[in-house]
Amino acid sequence: MSITLRLYRADDEEAAIALWQRTWQQAYPSIDFAERLAWWRERWRGELVPNAAIVVAEDNGALLGFVTIDKDGYLDQLVVTPEQWGSEIARFLVDEAKRLAPTGIALLVNKDNARAIRFYERNGFVHAGDEVNPTSGSPVLRMAWSGTSSSRGASGSA
């Protein structure tokens, strides 16, 4: 497998939305994410695409994951195909988010998503408070990565 990171393109939309639905459905099988597709598509087009850098991970043209990071360092989505959970793809994507937001990153993660919480902890994020997701009403954990002085001058390309 040869993973490539690159910036999102408009023609990635269908694959990215399908991947979002499939991964969230796998993580939360009791929720019907097919019913949420119209809402997600509107949010994707109206909020995330215009306001965040989106980096995709692919292998020979197949979308395997993506990360969104806005100009304020808020990581809204880190999505990896379930077949690659536990691989290095999520780490590659979060490292790219760190490169794009070298002064720090904040995110919200569902408190019942122990796998994701462990991943973020392993990648330098710390617990920064308890909140409630305004859309779902579910308890979430705010996590933060404070950035590093050595990454502030880092350069590179996706």
Q: What is the mean pLDDT of residues 46-72?
A: 96
Q: What is the pLDDT of residue 134?
A: 79
Q: Which residues neighbour 54 within 8 Å (Cβ) at sequence distance 6 or greater?
A: 7, 8, 16, 48, 66, 67, 68
Residue 110 tokens read as: 């569902």
Amino acid (one-letter) located at 122: R
What's this model's pTM, rounded to 2 decimal places? 0.88
For residue 82, what is the DSSP state? G
pLDDT in tens, 104-146: 999 999 999 999 999 999 999 999 999 998 778 889 999 999 9
Would you list the domain boundaries of the chain?
3-81+89-152
User: pLDDT exceeding 90 applies to what percent of the chain?
Assistant: 76
Of residues 77, 76, 79, the one with CA closest to residue 23: 79
Which pLDDT score is estimated for 147? 85
Residue 5 binned pLDDT confidence (cut-offs 50, 70, 90)? very high
Superfamily of domain 3-81+89-152, CATH level 4: Gcn5-related N-acetyltransferase (GNAT) (3.40.630.30)
- Confidence band of 15 (pLDDT split at 50, 70, 90): very high
Band (56; pLDDT cuts 50, 70, 90):
very high
Find out whether 57 and 93 touch, Cβ atoms under 8 Å.
Answer: yes
Residue 99 pLDDT exceeds 60: yes
